[in-house]
Chain A
């Protein structure tokens, strides 16, 4: 019979009590995120500009490819006649960069904090959470730039009008769904990577592929069955589309695929979190 120690936190507490424990460590999660951000930009000349430059560079590349090299019909590409492709792409690339960077950080978060994992106890969820937080800060900078970019196009380009509409209030909900999905996935993958480092390597390849099956740089119209499957099985597609809906198109983003993605995200988070707590006691000796 294994007795459960009252010290440490290896008890089968209810999710509520676990959440209360995590809540107590919220400052630590921020501190670790702050450390990551601070260290990331400390010795760079451009500093926080690096939060925006990678998606901006990708936007320029894809704009060049689709407008100059292959010349794809804008209506087909973006689903709108007047929306400039650059803005369309940037609105997808900013949340996607958040997804890719946040998850990459979360996956390595336990392994890269080995001294803390093996020497100090606090709920281990703090590591992936802080990795997501530090990516979230970059994301928010990106969103500000996106809005500025939209405003510039609004005033420069007479064709497309940036309608500040009520749908903007949906934005926090879209972000919340994305964070929920990322956190669930991040907990599972960070833990898996601690046991088998293959996970991290594999993820780096998969995330590239994933971007192309998600409608980040083009609109995915769901007519064929396999395409619909792709949309419904991949929560990121409705999420990215929801960003564009409420930011660029002035549409309410809550269609069925988005609600499906939200449901999947919640399930992934609850399952991932539970799994994480079940295996947490092995982290210190395995890492």
Chain B
């Protein structure tokens, strides 16, 4: 804690952690041997058949007031890293150092008991997280306000909704005044308002000089909140750097389930028949929509739709999948360009062109769209509706 500015709050130096597959309990003979020996697992590099590295040669440091994200697919070793930092288990090799009070938000509401009331559980949980009764009493109303559970203070926890449960757990945890905060995917609970509140709270921690390690699959939150990030894959560090670069690295290297970032990098241009780009067209004009799409392993289809901005009416929807003649499978490593040629039979109005990159098997209702560009259709419409039929009139006397 001395020399706050000079010493990093967290240092992880060549840390490895070995685990055994299956249960470590052994037949009695081996067990008796084991019980009287200090070190169970070899600290050498050679692995026994049942052993594997959950973390291998991990290095990073976090300064006071800095937030570092750890991202990676399931089983990458993110939670193990936090457990090592929280002191729940020791590393097989290497050193970890933290300065000050470590608060691990690895699970919300650790020690909560369903039969006890909200009030009782606040005291219990706070004490599990290292707060004294006096401190808890002092912060009690803040905790209750933050969680927004005032009317249910004397209700047993088993009657709480899962959202209330999580809010209460998070609220206690953020009132522990940590100097090092480890957050493991606990924000995925709770509604948007509460999540925003939590993020605000964590930002104010950063301003106070708290070092935060943030483990999340919510990459938007990672980029919005963290300066730097470490990407892990099967225990190995594949990238260390700025959060934004790390997220894009993760997208390329791993199998992303969420292609938000790739979305941001889709470039869309509208061209007339003569090849010039334009943002306004005449009715029934033939237009080429050119999309430059980054390579994302699992998101093999590009979806595209046109929405009338005035009333959000869907005018057109299409998609390009690997089987299409648009040649999406011919993508190079850095991406591909896809061209849709369409005739815009839509009435004059302002439209938005939206894109989505997703697996071709995705539920179309669950896609998240991004408006890539807006454009105008010129002319004067003769009718309503979403399709411009441009009728001609033939009038004959009866």
Residues on A with beta carbons closer than 8 Å to the beta carbon of B132? 27
Contact (Cβ within 8 A) B90 A10: yes
Residues on A with beta carbons closer than 8 Å to the beta carbon of B129? 120
Complex CA–CA separation, A34 to B292 (angstroms): 63
Complex CA–CA separation, A39 to B111 (angstroms): 13
Residues on B with beta carbons closer than 8 Å to the beta carbon of A43? 115
Which among A2, A43, A116 has the highest number of chain B CB atoms within 10 Å?
A: A2
Nearest residue (CB) in A for B24 is: A286
Contact (Cβ within 8 A) B124 A285: no
> B residues bordering A, Cβ < 8 Å?
19, 24-25, 31, 35, 38-40, 43, 83-98, 102, 104, 106-107, 110-111, 113, 115-116, 120, 123-124, 127-130, 132-133
Q: Could you pull out 12 A-B pairs where Cβ atoms are within 8 angstroms?
A: A2-B43, A2-B92, A3-B93, A7-B86, A8-B84, A115-B110, A116-B110, A119-B88, A119-B104, A120-B111, A284-B88, A285-B89
Contact (Cβ within 8 A) A119 B110: yes
Residues on A with beta carbons closer than 8 Å to the beta carbon of B24? 282, 285-286
Residues on B with beta carbons closer than 8 Å to the beta carbon of A7? 85-87, 96-98, 102
Contact (Cβ within 8 A) B120 A195: no
Complex CA–CA separation, A197 to B74 (angstroms): 31
As a 0/1 sequence over residues 17 to 44 of chain A, the CB contacts with chain B under 8 angstroms (1 = contact) are 0000000000110011001001100110
Interface status of A162 (Cβ within 8 A of chain B): no
Residues on B with beta carbons closer than 8 Å to the beta carbon of A27? 127, 132-133
Nearest residue (CB) in A for B130 is: A122
Interface status of A206 (Cβ within 8 A of chain B): no
Complex CA–CA separation, A28 to B125 (angstroms): 9
Contact (Cβ within 8 A) A38 B93: no
Interface status of A278 (Cβ within 8 A of chain B): yes
Interface status of A210 (Cβ within 8 A of chain B): no
Nearest residue (CB) in B for A117 is: B88
As a 0/1 sequence over residues 118 to 143 of chain A, the CB contacts with chain B under 8 angstroms (1 = contact) are 11111000000000000000000000
- Contacts A39-B113, A42-B115 given; indicate if A121 touches B87 (C-beta within 8 A): yes
Complex CA–CA separation, A120 to B115 (angstroms): 21
Residues on B with beta carbons closer than 8 Å to the beta carbon of A4? 90, 95
Contact (Cβ within 8 A) B116 A2: no
Residues on B with beta carbons closer than 8 Å to the beta carbon of A76? none
Contact (Cβ within 8 A) B120 A38: yes
Q: How many residues of A contact B (CB 8 A)?
A: 35
Residues on A with beta carbons closer than 8 Å to the beta carbon of B93? 1-3
- Contacts A35-B124, A120-B88, A121-B88 given; indicate if A284 touches B83 (C-beta within 8 A): yes
Interface status of A9 (Cβ within 8 A of chain B): yes
Complex CA–CA separation, A6 to B38 (angstroms): 19
Complex CA–CA separation, A120 to B112 (angstroms): 13
Interface status of A196 (Cβ within 8 A of chain B): yes
**Closest Cβ–Cβ distance, residue B24 to chain A (whole Å):** 5
Complex CA–CA separation, A196 to B107 (angstroms): 26
Within 8 A of B (CB), among A36-62: 38-39, 42-43
Of the residues A9, A38, A116, contact of B128 by C-beta under 8 Å:
A116
Residues on A with beta carbons closer than 8 Å to the beta carbon of B115? 38-39, 42-43
Complex CA–CA separation, A279 to B34 (angstroms): 10
As a 0/1 sequence over residues 248 to 287 of chain A, the CB contacts with chain B under 8 angstroms (1 = contact) are 0000000000000000000000000000001101101110
Residues on A with beta carbons closer than 8 Å to the beta carbon of B19? 285
Complex CA–CA separation, A8 to B116 (angstroms): 30
Q: List 8 tightest A-B contacts by C-beta distance, closest first.
A: A8-B87, A31-B127, A121-B87, A7-B98, A10-B90, A119-B107, A3-B95, A5-B96
Contact (Cβ within 8 A) A121 B127: no
Complex CA–CA separation, A106 to B325 (angstroms): 70
**Closest Cβ–Cβ distance, residue A72 to chain B (whole Å):** 43
**Closest Cβ–Cβ distance, residue A242 to chain B (whole Å):** 34
Complex CA–CA separation, A272 to B31 (angstroms): 18
Complex CA–CA separation, A3 to B83 (angstroms): 17
- Contacts A5-B97, A285-B89 given; indicate if A115 touches B107 (C-beta within 8 A): yes
Which among A27, A42, A118, A286 has the highest number of chain B CB atoms within 10 Å?
A: A27
Complex CA–CA separation, A278 to B127 (angstroms): 26
Complex CA–CA separation, A234 to B83 (angstroms): 41
Residues on A with beta carbons closer than 8 Å to the beta carbon of B38? 278
Nearest residue (CB) in B for A28 is: B127
Which among A2, A115, A120 has the highest number of chain B CB atoms within 10 Å?
A: A120
**Closest Cβ–Cβ distance, residue B386 to chain A (whole Å):** 54
**Closest Cβ–Cβ distance, residue A106 to chain B (whole Å):** 18
Complex CA–CA separation, A251 to B225 (angstroms): 71
**Closest Cβ–Cβ distance, residue A163 to chain B (whole Å):** 41
Of the residues B88, B94, B123, contact of A31 by C-beta under 8 Å:
B123
Contact (Cβ within 8 A) B127 A118: no
**Closest Cβ–Cβ distance, residue B87 to chain A (whole Å):** 2
Contact (Cβ within 8 A) B84 A5: yes
- Contacts A6-B97, A28-B127, A285-B24 given; indicate if A1 touches B87 (C-beta within 8 A): no
Complex CA–CA separation, A116 to B112 (angstroms): 10
**Closest Cβ–Cβ distance, residue B8 to chain A (whole Å):** 13
Contact (Cβ within 8 A) A286 B25: yes
**Closest Cβ–Cβ distance, residue A126 to chain B (whole Å):** 10
- Contacts A2-B43, A31-B124 given; indicate if A120 touches B110 (C-beta within 8 A): yes
Contact (Cβ within 8 A) B133 A35: no
Contact (Cβ within 8 A) B31 A8: no
**Closest Cβ–Cβ distance, residue B21 to chain A (whole Å):** 12
